Amino acid sequence: MTDGTCSKRFRMADLDLDAVKKVAQLANLELSETELQEMAKHLGGILDYVEVLKQVDTENIEPLAHPIEVVNVFRDDEPTEMLPREQALQNAPETDGKYFVVPAILNSAE
Protein backbone atom coordinates (compact mmCIF):
# COMPACT_ATOMS: atom_id res chain seq x y z
CA MET A 1 0.00 0.00 0.00
CA THR A 2 2.97 2.31 0.03
CA ASP A 3 2.68 3.08 -3.70
CA GLY A 4 -0.77 4.66 -3.26
CA THR A 5 -2.66 1.68 -4.64
CA CYS A 6 -4.73 -0.73 -2.67
CA SER A 7 -2.91 -4.04 -2.52
CA LYS A 8 -5.45 -5.56 -0.13
CA ARG A 9 -8.49 -6.67 -2.09
CA PHE A 10 -11.97 -7.10 -0.70
CA ARG A 11 -12.40 -10.12 1.53
CA MET A 12 -15.83 -11.37 2.57
CA ALA A 13 -14.66 -11.61 6.19
CA ASP A 14 -14.01 -7.84 6.27
CA LEU A 15 -17.60 -6.94 5.38
CA ASP A 16 -20.32 -9.51 5.99
CA LEU A 17 -23.69 -9.51 4.28
CA ASP A 18 -25.48 -8.54 7.50
CA ALA A 19 -23.58 -5.23 7.48
CA VAL A 20 -24.49 -4.70 3.82
CA LYS A 21 -28.14 -5.50 4.58
CA LYS A 22 -28.08 -2.95 7.42
CA VAL A 23 -26.63 -0.26 5.13
CA ALA A 24 -29.25 -1.09 2.48
CA GLN A 25 -32.00 -0.85 5.09
CA LEU A 26 -30.71 2.53 6.28
CA ALA A 27 -30.68 3.72 2.66
CA ASN A 28 -34.22 2.32 2.21
CA LEU A 29 -33.06 -0.04 -0.55
CA GLU A 30 -34.48 -3.46 -1.29
CA LEU A 31 -31.68 -5.64 -2.68
CA SER A 32 -31.79 -9.22 -3.90
CA GLU A 33 -29.16 -11.70 -2.74
CA THR A 34 -27.22 -11.17 -5.97
CA GLU A 35 -27.36 -7.40 -5.52
CA LEU A 36 -26.22 -7.78 -1.90
CA GLN A 37 -23.17 -9.74 -3.05
CA GLU A 38 -22.36 -7.10 -5.66
CA MET A 39 -22.90 -4.27 -3.19
CA ALA A 40 -20.62 -6.01 -0.69
CA LYS A 41 -17.86 -5.98 -3.29
CA HIS A 42 -18.38 -2.29 -4.02
CA LEU A 43 -18.55 -1.30 -0.36
CA GLY A 44 -15.46 -3.40 0.34
CA GLY A 45 -13.61 -1.49 -2.39
CA ILE A 46 -14.70 1.82 -0.88
CA LEU A 47 -13.51 0.74 2.56
CA ASP A 48 -10.19 -0.40 1.07
CA TYR A 49 -9.74 3.03 -0.50
CA VAL A 50 -10.52 4.73 2.82
CA GLU A 51 -7.68 2.69 4.33
CA VAL A 52 -5.37 4.03 1.60
CA LEU A 53 -6.49 7.60 2.33
CA LYS A 54 -5.80 7.12 6.05
CA GLN A 55 -2.12 6.73 5.19
CA VAL A 56 -1.88 10.21 3.65
CA ASP A 57 -0.05 12.69 5.87
CA THR A 58 -2.43 15.60 6.50
CA GLU A 59 -0.59 17.02 9.51
CA ASN A 60 0.12 20.48 8.03
CA ILE A 61 -2.90 20.68 5.74
CA GLU A 62 -5.51 23.25 6.66
CA PRO A 63 -9.14 22.03 6.45
CA LEU A 64 -11.21 23.34 3.54
CA ALA A 65 -14.87 24.21 3.44
CA HIS A 66 -14.84 23.50 -0.30
CA PRO A 67 -12.27 21.74 -2.49
CA ILE A 68 -12.10 24.60 -5.00
CA GLU A 69 -12.24 28.36 -4.58
CA VAL A 70 -15.84 29.51 -4.64
CA VAL A 71 -16.56 32.87 -6.25
CA ASN A 72 -19.90 34.64 -6.35
CA VAL A 73 -20.72 35.17 -10.02
CA PHE A 74 -23.80 37.30 -9.42
CA ARG A 75 -23.77 41.04 -9.76
CA ASP A 76 -24.10 43.24 -6.69
CA ASP A 77 -27.70 43.76 -5.64
CA GLU A 78 -28.05 47.47 -6.20
CA PRO A 79 -31.22 49.45 -6.87
CA THR A 80 -31.80 50.32 -10.52
CA GLU A 81 -34.56 51.99 -12.51
CA MET A 82 -37.88 50.18 -12.40
CA LEU A 83 -39.16 48.35 -15.46
CA PRO A 84 -42.05 50.30 -17.02
CA ARG A 85 -45.40 48.71 -16.18
CA GLU A 86 -46.34 48.19 -19.85
CA GLN A 87 -43.08 46.37 -20.53
CA ALA A 88 -43.47 44.18 -17.42
CA LEU A 89 -47.01 43.18 -18.40
CA GLN A 90 -46.45 42.72 -22.16
CA ASN A 91 -45.75 38.95 -22.00
CA ALA A 92 -48.22 38.12 -19.22
CA PRO A 93 -50.90 35.58 -20.20
CA GLU A 94 -53.57 37.82 -18.68
CA THR A 95 -53.64 41.35 -17.24
CA ASP A 96 -56.24 43.93 -16.35
CA GLY A 97 -54.05 46.66 -17.82
CA LYS A 98 -52.53 47.48 -14.47
CA TYR A 99 -51.82 44.14 -12.74
CA PHE A 100 -51.17 40.49 -13.52
CA VAL A 101 -54.35 38.41 -13.39
CA VAL A 102 -53.87 35.00 -11.77
CA PRO A 103 -56.40 32.27 -10.96
CA ALA A 104 -57.68 32.14 -7.39
CA ILE A 105 -56.13 29.30 -5.41
CA LEU A 106 -58.00 29.76 -2.15
CA ASN A 107 -61.71 29.38 -1.66
CA SER A 108 -62.93 32.40 0.33
CA ALA A 109 -65.99 30.42 1.59
CA GLU A 110 -63.81 28.17 3.77
Show the DSSP H helices in 1-110 as ranges.
Answer: 17-26, 33-54, 85-89
DSSP bridge partners of 95: 100
Structural domain total, the chain: 1
Q: State mean pLDDT over 101-109.
A: 82
Residue 74 covered by a domain = no
3 state DSSP class of 41:
helix
Burial letters for 65-100: b for 16+ Cβ neighbours within 10 Å, e otherwise?
A: eeeeeeeeeeeeeeeeeeeeeeeebeeeeeeeeeee
Residue 100 covered by a domain = no
pLDDT given for residue 5 in this prediction? 46
Residue 9 covered by a domain = yes
Residue 77 is given by DSSP the state: -
Query: Confidence class of residue 1 from pLDDT cuts 50, 70 and 90?
Result: very low
Percent of the chain with pLDDT over 90: 44
Residue 107 has pLDDT above 90, yes or no: no
